[in-house]
Structure 1
Amino acid sequence: MARMHAGDLAHRLGRQAEAVCRRYLNAGRKHGNYWLVGDANNTPGRSLFVRLSDSPKGPAGKWQDAATGEHGDLLDLIRLIRGLVDFADVAEEARAFLSLPHPEPAPLPNKLPRAASGSVEAAKRLFALSQPIGSSVVGTYLRHRGIAVLPGPASLRFHPRCYYRPETDEVTQTWPAMIAAVTDLNGQITGVHRTWLAPDGKDKAPVDTPRKAMGDLLGHAVRFGVPGEVMAAGEGIESVLSVREGAPGMAMAAALSAAHLAAIAFPDAMRRLYIIRDNDPAGDWARDSLVERAHAAGIEAVVLSPVLGDFNEDLCAHGLEALRASIRGQFAPQDVARFLDFVP
Structure 2
Amino acid sequence: MNKPLLLICAAVVGVSVMACAAKPSAQWQSDHYQADIGFYNKNDTEQDFSFGKFIAIGKRFFFDDYPNTEPFGLIPIAPIDLSALAAEQGDVVYRLGHSTVLMKLSGKYILTDPMFSERTSPVQWAGPKRFHAVPIDLENLPAIHSVIISHDHYDHLDEGSIKRLVHITKHFVVPLGLAKYLKDWGVPSENIHELDWWQSKQFGEFTFTSTPSQHFSGRGLFNRNSTLWSSWVIRSANQRIFFSGDSGYFEGFKEIGERLGPFDLTIMENGAYNPDWAKVHMFPAETVQAHIDLKGKAMLPVHNGTFKLAFHHWKAPLEDVTNIAQEQGQLVQTPIMGEQVNVDQPKWYKKWWRDIADEQ
Both structures adopt the same fold (TM-score exceeding 0.5): no
After TM superposition, the score normalised by the length of structure 1 is 0.29
Q: Which has the larger radius of gyration?
A: 1
Higher-helix-fraction structure? 1
TM-score by length of 2: 0.28
Relative contact order (C-alpha < 8 Å, sep 6+): which is higher? 2
